[in-house]
Amino acid sequence: MLKSDRPITILGIETSCDETGAAIIERGQDGRGTILSNIVRSQLREHEAFGGIVPEIAARAHIESLDRLIDSAMADAGIGFQTLSAIAVTAGPGLIGGLLVGTVTAKAIGMVRGLPVIPVNHLEGHALTVGLTENVEPPYLLLLVSGGHTQILAVHDVGDYQRLGTTLDDALGEAFDKTAKLLGLGFPGGPQVERWAQGGNPRRFALPRPMMGRPEAHFSFSGLKNALRLEASKIAPLHDRDIRDLCASFELAVTEAVSDRVKTAMNAYQNLHANRKSWRLVAAGGVAANRKLQTALSDLATEKGFTLHVPPVSLCGDNAAMIAWAGAEHFVRNLPYERGFSARARWPLDGNAPRAIGAGVKA
């Protein structure tokens, strides 16, 4: 890990989606990270009735709790603002209302306390979390699977990302969420589908494995979701046994499709780093918490000469510790950032990646 001449302490703020987060991390001179506090307030209850996230409700909920969360994070860490080296705040991508709440709050504290405010890409937060938890630093291959994003990237260095694959339609977490909604399982869908899949028969329904065998490491999940809808409507009304089997079949189809796409990306990555004997695969984002997916990725990693690194479940989902850590990694490297930055609903990690052929409006 990159060393620094003094330890640095960062306040992280996360408000890009439906989780309000405030955290304090310390990055020691040896480059090791310590979480001093990490508070996440989920808005699940506010959005539950709608079966998905309502942007305005999300923004209002961030306003109502962010100041108190920051107070609590500071108190839990046992520090005052004078101890901070900088503030790191998610500036995108995400829901613009929520991003504005976080960025304005960060700028206000920064102005009053004379602290630098570093705009952090939410995806970079997920991408670098393994540095905080396991000391794993770039280069590595990254599978980023969350509710809004599904990508495979070569992480060359902090701030240097090359996209090798992306989804052409839905994000993987979105596919889990829509499947759960269809089956009446509640929100967010990923953990529900995972729970119901336990003990189900994954071979009962022959669902497609989208994009398998394609030369580029792109994904697609909307066809799979529709195939599941068809199977479910054929056997309606659904009994618990049917729901368990549908969830298990969905999970298996997803796991096999994702493994195939990751394998394709591994080949491309090994060509980029042909002089190495072993390579690293990192899985991050909310869906990386899925145990079947982790097991499949672990088997694949062993087969291809990679080691697999996944953050603990508590840091797979959205949180502010990962934002603080990404900010710290930028801070110690003196990477440039815009002082008058604004929030960005769209902010790709690899700004040079071309639009994937066949990608729909959301991809």
Q: Which residues bind Zn ion (CB under 5 A)?
A: 146, 318
Write the DSSP symbol of residue 167. Answer: B
Distance, CA of 315 to CA of 284 (rounded, Å): 9
Q: Parallel, antiparallel, or unpaired: how do β-strands 150-157 and 160-166 relate?
A: antiparallel
Token pair 């002089």 in the structure block, residue: 275
Q: CA 128 → CA 50, 124, 260, 261, distances in Å?
A: 32, 6, 24, 21
The contacts of residue 315 (CB under 8 Å, 6+ apart) are: 129, 132, 133, 321, 322
**Binding-site member from 190, 202, 210, 327 for ligand KG4 (CB under 6 A):** 190
Report the amino acid identity of residue 184.
G
CB of 3 to Zn ion, least distance (A): 29
- CB nearer to ligand KG4: give 42 or 270: 42
State the binding string over 11-40 for ligand KG4 (x if CB under 6 A, else -). ------x-----------------------
- CB nearer to ligand KG4: give 131 or 311: 311
11 binds, among Zn ion, ligand KG4, none (CB under 5 to 8 A by kind): none
- CB nearer to ligand KG4: give 85 or 150: 150
Report the amino acid identity of residue 165.
G
State the binding string over 75-104 for ligand KG4 (x if CB under 6 A, else -). ------------------------------
- CB nearer to Zn ion: give 129 or 259: 129
Q: Does 188 bind ligand KG4 (CB under 6 A)?
A: yes
CB of 6 to ligand KG4, least distance (A): 32
Binding residue count for ligand KG4, defined by CB under 6 A: 19
- CB nearer to ligand KG4: give 177 or 329: 177
Instruction: Tell which positions 192-231 bind ligand KG4, by CB under 6 A.
Output: 194
Distance, CA of 355 to CA of 363 (rounded, Å): 8
- CB nearer to ligand KG4: give 115 or 283: 283
271-283 burial by CB neighbour count: b if 16+ within 10 A, else e? eeeeeeeebbbbb
- CB nearer to ligand KG4: give 87 or 145: 145
CB of 190 to ligand KG4, least distance (A): 2
Question: Which tokens go with 25?
Answer: 């991390």
- CB nearer to ligand KG4: give 19 or 329: 19
Write the DSSP symbol of residue 357. Answer: T
CB of 347 to ligand KG4, least distance (A): 13
Instruction: Tell which positions 265-324 bind ligand KG4, by CB under 6 A.
Output: 285-287, 289-290, 317-318
Question: Which tokens go with 256?
Answer: 């096999």
97 binds, among ligand KG4, Zn ion, none (CB under 5 to 8 A by kind): none
Where are the extended beta strands (E) located within the chain?
A: 8-14, 19-27, 33-42, 86-92, 117-121, 140-145, 150-157, 160-166, 279-284, 306-309
Which DSSP string corresponds to 63-85?
A: HHHHHHHHHHHHHHHT--GGG-S
- CB nearer to ligand KG4: give 105 or 255: 255
Q: Does 248 bind ligand KG4 (CB under 6 A)?
A: no
Q: In what order do the strands lie in the sheet containing 19-27?
A: 33-42, 19-27, 8-14, 86-92, 117-121
200 binds, among Zn ion, ligand KG4, none (CB under 5 to 8 A by kind): none
Helix (H, G, I), strand (E, B) or coil at 215: coil
Question: Dihedral (C-alpha) 175, 178, 182, 187: value to the nearest 10 degrees?
Answer: 120
Instruction: Tell which positions 121-180 bind ligand KG4, by CB under 6 A.
Output: 146-148, 173, 176-177
194 binds, among ligand KG4, Zn ion, none (CB under 5 to 8 A by kind): ligand KG4
CB of 120 to ligand KG4, least distance (A): 13
CB of 124 to Zn ion, least distance (A): 11
| Contacting positions for ligand KG4 (CB under 6 A) | 17, 146-148, 173, 176-177, 188-191, 194, 285-287, 289-290, 317-318
